[in-house]
Each structure stands twice: as structure tokens, then as C-alpha cells.
Amino acid sequence: MSRRGAIVFVTTAGSLVVALAGIALVGGIRLNLTPSEPLGIWRIEPLSRAPLIGDLVFICPPPTPPFQEAWQRGYLRRGLCAGGFAPLIKTVVALPSQRVAIGDTVEIDGAVLGASRIRENDGQGRPIIPYSGGVVPPDHLFLHSSFASSYDSRYFGPIPTSGLLGRADPILTFDP
């Protein structure tokens, strides 16, 4: 292949990749590379109702100091949400007015949440401070992942619904 042919090929291939990425973003397609939920390709489906317990959702974390620290520690990926964060994929486990208690595990309205053991340290041995507990405020959700090392509301607390992108629907996923 000539030098000119190689330049045309690389330019065309690069343009195609950019175009496909743009279509995926506009179409609500996301790639999950974190173990909190199955790895693979997901679609964001807008919710036509209020979120419910058990909904698996995409949500943008707010650009607050705790989330900036979480990004610095490597708990979050870069993405298109405010603050430059990628959306989280988590399950809604408590809604506004529900009481969350944190001890060795999470309790919601007095019932222990499965797979909710609280870790004292992250994977690199650094201390990780859990949420202190309390009532989920209006316009917030308490989120969870059953993955033991997940960074979820056990640590950051309820998160504003203003960041809710929609329901997370798997397209092509696998559990490692």
C-alpha cells in the first residue's frame, strides 16, 4: 500500500470510529468495564416513571469533593457527566423517606440488605469511610451493587436523582 493509501485508510478508519462513538453516545449505548455489574455493552433506557426499588440505573455522580477524591483513588472512570465522571450503574435499594443504618452491613428500614458488608479499607489498604446513615432525602436515591468492592451508597450516601440518566439494559454482557 502506498503512503497516500495508508493515510486515506487511517483517516477513514478514524472517522468511522468517531462516528460510531457519536452514534453510541446519542443512542444511549455505554460500555461497562467495571466489575460492579456485568462487563459489556449496555443501553440507557429513559424512565417514564419515578425510579423504583430494584431498578438497575445509570446515574451521574455529582461533581462534589467526595466524588473527586473517589476519582483520584481510581474508584470512578472519566466520562461525560458533570465533573468529567462516567455514569455509575447501580441498583436502587432505598427511596426518599426510607431509613438507612450502617453497621457491619446496610439496613434499610430495619431489614439487612444482602451482600452489603462494609469494608474498612479499599483494595489498596487505604481507609474508606462509610456513609453515616440516616433518612434518604427527597429527590435522592440510595444505590447498591452486590460486588463486594463496589463504590456505592454504602460509602457516598444517597445521590441526587438529578443525575439519573435512565434504566440500565444489558445488550451484550458477561460476568467474568
What is the distance between the alpha carbons of residues 115 and 148, in angstroms, rounded to a whole number?
Answer: 7
**Which pTM does this prediction carry?**
0.85
C-alpha cell read off for 151: 463504590
Residue 2: predicted pLDDT: 78
Residue 81 CB-density burial (10 A; 0-12 exposed, 13-18 middle, 19+ buried): buried
Which mean pLDDT values do the consecutive 10-residue runs of the chain (176 residues) have? Answer: 68 48 61 91 96 98 94 93 94 98 98 97 96 98 96 97 97 88
Residue 11: predicted pLDDT: 65
What is the distance between the alpha carbons of residues 61 and 45, in angstroms, rounded to a whole number?
Answer: 18
Identity of residue 125: G
- Could you give the domains of the chain? 31-174 (2.10.109.10)
Residue 6: predicted pLDDT: 63
Sign of CA pseudo-dihedral 170, 58, 101, 109: negative
